Chains A and B, each alone.
Chain A
């Protein structure tokens, strides 16, 4: 645990009393104990889930996004007790058996990031959008679904392209079997 992780709500939790939350985190039954008002971010990071990244602490920027029963929420303003009895998914839960998901591989092929700090949040909201819809997606649907995710490198267009590419392909074949496509700026590069 880093000093920064201790700083995230730790003091607040001491002041505001103790609570426990039994939840399923990326498929694993987990019991979390601590300050009831402590934001979920610190707890999840202490489990080693460093894809949960706290930046603005205001629910604005999207880097701490997790899926709570499949719906994107900002973990930085989510109290610990709210995880109780719920299913939590972080970006670490997108891959299976060491294999990146189709969406993750498409992000790589579309070069949908530069520094990648915001990427876990984008991936989770995009996954929730894909799970909630069928068939191809319009630009508007993707923009709405990824609302409130800030990328200071400015990779919005490639993110949109990646999500639309996955959505477009899921009609043709089973999503898991689909191969990523290379983006226009990435023509000729082999998929990982």
Chain B
């Protein structure tokens, strides 16, 4: 018998998931699940609606980390002054997702579990080195976001697990972050290509760890650690930015979609990676920018 469950606590939710089969689906804001159901892609026997689970709705800015409750809406993240101060690039990128009606319903946990390849927050969070906390009645595990996302709309989340929290290490004060979102159709579209760059820096002119994640081209945020790790400790200059951009352009194998052909996305990726690194080095402020 198909039914709707509306748990009010985390433990009730985990119990419902443990008792449910693989035809049980979690729904938070519904902006992804409703589209899939309306498109006839999803026919759950049971829906576990999470919007009454208030304990997973929070932004906690702490000394070393920022923790986001999975059921915090994108609109709340966008409006959070503490988040904007601690992670301006993430707050800015979230504000570029869809439109405010969608952001008012969509949650950060739902966004990551949907695992859409053309999505801004996963790439930005991957560049920031975020981890996700997964809970079930069996226990709890913390997984790097880059390992949580495994394919198109696919994650490692087990049937009885719930993503409860996103944990983001706070970048050092001198670190630079940026997100460039290029849209080929309308202002509220998903990214044709989005590039998130993180450039770790100490007080010297040399760079620390560099991470660059590309959204909209591949199944999961595309990162070339072997290329960016060569920059560790280097003096990152314009030539270096261009070399990384070229390496990304060579290595990436984008899919073609309504927002651009594979060849087009490959070219845009190269230019945007270079621009994102240049912006991270030269721009006076961290943030997300619509192109």
Interface positions of A (Cβ within 8 A of B): 9, 12, 15-17, 19, 36-37, 39, 57-60, 62, 65, 71-74, 77-79, 81-82, 125, 144-145, 147-148
Secondary structure dominating the interface of A: mixed
Asked if residues B35 and A82 are in contact (CB atoms below 8 Å), the reply is no
Q: For residues 11 through 57 of chain B, which have their beta carbon under 8 Å from a beta carbon of chain A?
A: 27, 30-31, 34-35, 37-38, 43-44, 47, 49, 51
- Residues A37 and B100 in contact in the complex (CB < 8 Å), given A60-B188, A77-B30: no
Residues on B with beta carbons closer than 8 Å to the beta carbon of A78: 30, 34, 105
Interface positions of B (Cβ within 8 A of A): 1-4, 6, 27, 30-31, 34-35, 37-38, 43-44, 47, 49, 51, 75, 98-102, 104-105, 187-188
Q: How many A-B residue pairs have CB under 8 A?
A: 83
Asked if residues B38 and A39 are in contact (CB atoms below 8 Å), the reply is yes
- Residues A60 and B99 in contact in the complex (CB < 8 Å), given A17-B2, A82-B51: yes
A62 to B43, CA, bound (A): 26
Asked if residues A9 and B6 are in contact (CB atoms below 8 Å), the reply is no
Asked if residues A37 and B37 are in contact (CB atoms below 8 Å), the reply is yes
Asked if residues B101 and A74 are in contact (CB atoms below 8 Å), the reply is yes
Secondary structure dominating the interface of B: mixed
Residues on B with beta carbons closer than 8 Å to the beta carbon of A125: 100-101
Among A12, A19, A81, A145, the residue within 8 A (CB) of B38 is A12
* Shortest distance from the beta carbon of B176 to any chain A beta carbon, whole Å: 26
Residues on A with beta carbons closer than 8 Å to the beta carbon of B47: 16-17, 36-37
Could you list 10 examples of A-B contacts with CB < 8 Å? Answer: A12-B38, A16-B44, A17-B1, A37-B37, A60-B188, A72-B100, A72-B104, A77-B30, A82-B51, A147-B100
Residues on A with beta carbons closer than 8 Å to the beta carbon of B30: 77-79, 82
A-B contacts besides A79-B34, A81-B4, A81-B6, 9 pairs, CB < 8 Å: A15-B2, A19-B4, A58-B35, A59-B98, A59-B99, A73-B105, A82-B51, A147-B187, A148-B99
